[in-house]
Amino acid sequence: MFFTDRPIEDPKDLYDREEELKALIESIAKRSITLIIGLRRTGKTSLIKVATRDMPRIYIDARKFEERSYLTYRDFYVNLEEG
């Protein structure tokens, strides 16, 4: 294991998150809506990327919308197309 300031995707590099990873994988399998919330820089993105590593996925970094009070479908779709 090593420290990096970027999200990780390899399960062997995810430290001390076995319980959360198991719960997230089970939630994904049930196709239930799941929120991953927490303080900044605590590994939320890494947890999601490890849990979905072998699945088809689209990852959208929604931080670009933080300053907006309103988001249209068009804004979302344009961002989706860019991804």
Q: What is the pLDDT of residues 20-44, one digit of tens each?
A: 999 999 999 999 888 899 998 899 9
Task: Report d(CA 77, CA 64) in Å as an integer.
Answer: 14
Task: Give me the mean pLDDT over the 57-71 stretch.
Answer: 84
The mean pLDDT value for 34-55 works out to: 92
**Nearest to residue 46, comparing CAs of 77, 80, 16, 82?**
16
This prediction's pTM: 0.73
Written as six digits, the tokens of 51 are 């849990």
- Other Cβ atoms within 10 Å of 35 Cβ, number: 6
User: Do 8 and 14 form a contact (C-beta atoms < 8 A)?
Assistant: yes
- Residue 1: is its pLDDT beyond 80? no
Statement: residue 49 has pLDDT above 60: yes
CA distance 67 to 70: 9
